[in-house]
Amino acid sequence: MNALIDLSANNAVGDFVRDVLFPNSPALAWAANGLLGVVALLLFPVFLGAPFLIWMERKVCAHMQARLGPMRHGPHGAVQTIADVVKLVFKEIAPPGGVDRLVYLLAPGIPLTASFLVLAVVPWGANLQVADPEQGVFYVVAVGALGLLGFLVGAWASNNKFALLGAMRAGAQMLSYEISLSVLLLLVMLLSGESSLREIVLSQQGTVLDWWVFKAPVVGPLAFVLYLVSSTAELNRGPFDLIEAEQELTAGYQTEYSGMGFSMFYLAEYINMTIQAALVSTFFLGGFLPPLVGIAPVDAALAAVPGVVWMVAKTLAIVFVYMWFRWSFPRPRVDQLLALEWKTLLPANLAVFALGMLALAMGWILP
C-alpha cells in the first residue's frame, strides 16, 4: 500500500524557487520558500478559509433549523460574507472611556497570533508544511494555550464588568479542557512513538484500519470521541460558548470591541476551529494520507488524489461536526460545563490513556 503514495515528491512551488529562481543560491531559495509559506499561511485563512467557513456555518444553521440563511448577495448568498468583512474593516473603532488603550488595541492580535503559530506546524501534505519541529506535539500544546491571554488582557483593559466575567469564564473553561486535549494528544504520540506531526501522520500509512481511530481497538474510537467533545468546549463553540453568553454577559470578553478588534477575535475563532479539525485529522484520521481500502484498483485511484485534497476534505468534515454540535444542543450552565470536564471527561480521558498504555505494553495495537 505504501508504494502507491509518493512521499518523496517535493512541492511544485518549492521546486520552482529552488531550481528556477535561485538555482545557485540555496540560502536565498530557503529564505524565499519560508517567506512564501508564511505569506500563504497569513493570506489563505483570512481571504479564503474564514469567509467560506462563515458562509458554511450560516448554511449549516439554516438547513438544520429549516431556514434559508443569506440568499440575496451572490449565488446562494456566497457574497454576503464578503460584504460583512468590508463592513467590519471600515467600521469605526470606538474604545469606551477608562480603557487601557494600548492593551485594548493589542489584545485581539494575541489569539490570532497563537492561531497562526499552531497553523504553521500542521502538515497539509507530505511536503506542504511551513515548519516541522521534532517536538511538534509539545509545541502545539504550549502555543495553543497562548490565545487565552488575549481574552484575559482584552477584557481587563476594556474596563467592563461583563467583559471581565467573560474572561474569567474563558480562563476556567479553556484551561480546564486544555488538560483533556493534552492527555489525548500525548496518548497518540506515545502510541505512534513520534512527536513530529508529520511523522504521526506517516505512522498511519496503510488502509483506513491503520488510522489511529481504528488501529488501537477500543482506545482509538474512545479517544476520538472524547477529543471531539473536549475540543468543542476548548474552542468556546456552542453549546459550550459560555464565555460570550449574550443572555448573561452581553457579549462576554468582547463586549467593548467593534470593527477590526471584534473581527480579529471572530477570525481567531474560525481559524482555531480549522486547526482543531486539522489536528483531529492528523492524529486520528490519517491526515493527508488517502483512505485506502485494500483493493488495488480503488487504492490506485485514491492515491492519485493529492494529499492536500484529502487533508482539506477530512478537516471540513470535522468542521461540519463542530457546526452540527453548535446548532443541535442547548447551552448548559457554567457550573455544569466545568463539572463535565472535572468529573466526567478528565477521568474518562485518564482512563483511556491508561488503557492505551496497557494496550501498548501488551501488544494489543493492530500491526
pLDDT digits (tens, 9 = 90+) for 279-297: 999 999 999 999 999 899 9
How far apart, in Å, are the Cα atoms of 255 and each of 18, 42, 151, 239? 48, 26, 11, 19
In a domain, 79, yes or no: no
Q: What are the Cα distances from residue 195, in Å, to 8, 38, 85, 158?
A: 20, 23, 38, 39
Assess whether pLDDT exceeds 50 at residue 106: yes
Tell me the mean pLDDT in the region 182-210. 93
Q: How many domains does the chain have?
A: 1
Please provide the average confidence, as pLDDT, over all residues in the chain. 86
> Which of 145-149, 298-302, 352-356 shows the lowest per-residue confidence on average (mean pLDDT)?
145-149
Distances (CA, A) of 107 to 111, 137, 208: 8, 26, 42
The predicted model gives 262-277 an average pLDDT of 87
Q: Is 4 a domain residue? A: no
CA-to-CA distance for 275 and 50, rounded, in angstroms?
A: 12
90 pLDDT exceeds 50? Answer: yes
In a domain, 16, yes or no: no
- pLDDT given for residue 353 in this prediction: 95
Mean pLDDT on 16-36:
80
- For residue 61, being part of any structural domain is answered with no
pLDDT at 247: 66
Domain-located, residue 187: yes
pLDDT-wise least confident of 19-28, 42-51, 170-179: 42-51
How much is the average pLDDT of 176-180? 91
Q: Residue 234: is its pLDDT beyond 80?
A: yes
- If one counts every other C-beta atom within 10 angstroms of the C-beta of residue 142, the result is 13
Residues 47-57 pLDDT 10s = 677 888 888 99
Extract the C-alpha cell encoding 138.
509539545
Rounded Cα distance between 252 and 162, Å, is: 6
Residue 8 has pLDDT above 80, yes or no: no
**pLDDT at position 246, please?**
67
Which residue range is the domain that position 130 belongs to?
Answer: 93-362
Lowest mean pLDDT among 138-142, 153-157, 226-230: 153-157
Grid coordinates representing 58?
A: 450560516
Which sign, positive or negative, has the C-alpha torsion 152, 156, 161, 162?
Answer: negative
Residue 128 β-bridge partners: 125
- For every residue of 269-324, DSSP letters joined together read HHHHHHHHHHHHHHHHS-TTS--B-S-HHHHHHHHTS-HHHHHHHHHHHHHHHHHH
Q: Is the pLDDT of residue 266 over 50?
A: yes
Checking if the pLDDT of 257 tops 90, the result is no
pLDDT band at 46 (very low <50, low <70, confident <90, very high): low
Residue 179 has pLDDT above 80, yes or no: yes
**Residue, of 244 and 211, whose pLDDT is higher:** 211
Task: Report which of residues 280 and 11 the model is more confident about.
Answer: 280
pLDDT attached to residue 254: 81
DSSP 325-356: HHTTS----HHHHHHIIIIIIHHHHHHHHHHH
Q: What is the pLDDT of residues 301-358, one digit of tens each?
A: 999 998 889 999 999 999 999 999 988 888 888 889 899 999 999 999 999 999 999 9
How large is the average pLDDT for residues 79-96?
81
N-to-C CA span, the chain: 14
Inside any domain, residue 9: no
More confident residue, 276 or 259: 276
Does 22 map to a domain? no
SS3 128: strand
Q: Which three cell numbers stand for residue 162?
A: 461583563
| pLDDT at 138 > cutoff 70 | yes
Spell out the residues 6+ positions from residue 11 whose beta carbon is closer than 8 angstroms to its own: 125, 127, 128
Angle value at C-alpha 55, between 302 and 119, nearest 5 degrees: 60
The reply to whether 65 falls in a domain is no
